[in-house]
Structures are given as structure tokens and as C-alpha cells.
Structure 1
């Protein structure tokens, strides 16, 4: 069975590192990263990830611009995109959903539940490669 892959597009290295480690350890997912919208679009075209975790606030091309380009591209339009944002207001999140994103996760996110949040937002589409973490974790 081919490895399942998620692409994280975020200009903050620390966010990439925390999310990558979380998704690798929690769900055994293969994680790809991109530091900008344009790099992310290129990687999405080349790698065809199963999902994209996309930061809203990035320089040059923000997450919304990146999402719109992904949607216009026949090679990437079917890849589900979940936005990462510090904007927690319901009205702002509703605008994101109106664009057609698969979901929204607010920053700061809980690294222990990130994989399950992604799985839930995608309607269980990733459950075949998600396994739950036991309750006796680190104290």
C-alpha cells in the first residue's frame, strides 16, 4: 500500500516542525512541507498529496490566494485543503468555508489531536491510515 501523504504549506518553520512531528508520530503519515504558496502549489502538482494543511497568513501569496490557484489547477483541485489560521471568529471562518475549503483549524492547535482533527474535518476519509493514540501519554 502506498504511503499516505499530507502537504503542509506554512512560512513558519516552527509550525511545520510541530505539525510534521505530530502527524508522523500520531498517525504515521508521510509529511511534505513547503515554505510558500508558490512552492506549495508546485509540490502539490508533483506529489499529489492526500490532503493539504495551508496557513492563511503568508507573505507574497497568502493562503487564500494559494487555495484559489490550487482550485483553478486541474491537477490539484480535487485535493482537500484545510486552512490553518489564528482567526478564530466564526464570521471569518464561515468566509473560508464559503470558498470551498475542507476545514479550518485554529492556531495554536493541539499537536496531540491534530491528526484526529484533520481526519474528522475530512469526513473520515483518512481513517484508513489513522490510528488512535493511547490515553496513557506523557504527563
Structure 2
């Protein structure tokens, strides 16, 4: 039985499947998949995840507004949001936190360490509270 639940928001179907498989099969996560931020917000309302992992690049027209909605949900429900991005190295953890995120994972990612990276960022978030 999975120990933690994660909402994965990724618009590219192939990458969404790979990320989901890495987290569920190699990391024992209960993974809920979403192809858009808007759908992800609805899924959060149905069942609170332990963490949200979102791809920073999305084709949604109102992505910034939707990310702000997701951040408000994250704050009110104490759910950390992690980014997965090829630009993750551009900012420090402190800068990500100032932007309302708990951390970031770089693309390309290592499938075998993805789950441990998410867990480590979650524990850093808990220790920062």
C-alpha cells in the first residue's frame, strides 16, 4: 500500500506516464495524474494530496492565474508544491520558497532518484515550518 499521495500535473502525456510510473513503481507513491493545472485543482478538491508536482511549462492560457489558485490551495491545506523544470537550477531553494513553491527538480530527471528527491524536498518543507 502506498505511503504518500502525489498529484502530478504534466501536460505531455508521455512524460506524465513516465513520471507517474517512476513515482508509483520505484517510489511507492499513490499517484493521481492531471494533464492541466485546472484539472489538478479539481482533483485536489476531491482528495487532498500529500504533495503536488507540477511541470513549469504549460500551454494553458491562464497558467499564471491557475498556479496562483493552486498556491492558495497549497497554503490553506499545507500541501507543498514542487516544480519539475529544465530551469530548476536557475533559482535557489530560498527563491523558490519566496515564489510559493517548496522546491524544484531538474529536467532531465533521474527516474531512479525521482521519488527520493520528492521525499527530500517534502522533508525540507516540513523542517522549514
| Same fold by TM-score greater than 0.5 | yes
Aligned equivalent of 2:112: 112
Instruction: Classify the secondary structure of the residue corresponding to 1:32.
Output: strand
- After superposition, give the CA deviation of every residue in 1:79-118 in whole Å (9 maximum; x if it has no partner): 1110011114434876433212111011111111000000
Aligned equivalent of 2:87: 87
Aligned equivalent of 1:135: none
Query: Contact 2:10–2:54 (CA<8 Å) still a contact in 1?
Result: yes
Q: Structure 2 length as normaliser, TM-score?
A: 0.81
Instruction: Classify the secondary structure of the residue corresponding to 1:123.
Output: helix
Aligned ranges 1:15-54 → 2 under 5 Å: 15-54=15-54
Aligned equivalent of 1:103: 103
Query: Contact 1:23–1:31 (CA<8 Å) still a contact in 2?
Result: yes
Count of residue correspondences: 125
Gaps of 5+ in 2: none
Query: Contact 1:80–1:122 (CA<8 Å) still a contact in 2?
Result: yes
- Specify whether residues 75 and 42 from structure 1 end up closer, same or farther in structure 2 by C-alpha distance, changes over 3 A only: farther
Query: Contact 1:8–1:34 (CA<8 Å) still a contact in 2?
Result: yes
Aligned Cα root-mean-square deviation (Å): 2.8
- Specify whether residues 15 and 51 from structure 1 end up closer, same or farther in structure 2 by C-alpha distance, changes over 3 A only: same
Query: Contact 1:24–1:30 (CA<8 Å) still a contact in 2?
Result: yes
Aligned ranges 1:60-75 → 2 under 5 Å: 60=60, 61-62=62-63, 64-73=64-73
Instruction: Classify the secondary structure of the residue corresponding to 2:123.
Output: coil
Distance across 1 between alignment mates of 2:88 and 2:2: 35
- After superposition, give the CA deviation of every residue in 1:111-136 in whole Å (9 maximum; x if it has no partner): 1100000011111689xxxxxxxxxx
User: Which structure: greater helix fraction?
Assistant: 2
Query: Contact 2:5–2:29 (CA<8 Å) still a contact in 1?
Result: yes
Distance across 2 between alignment mates of 1:98 and 1:54: 17
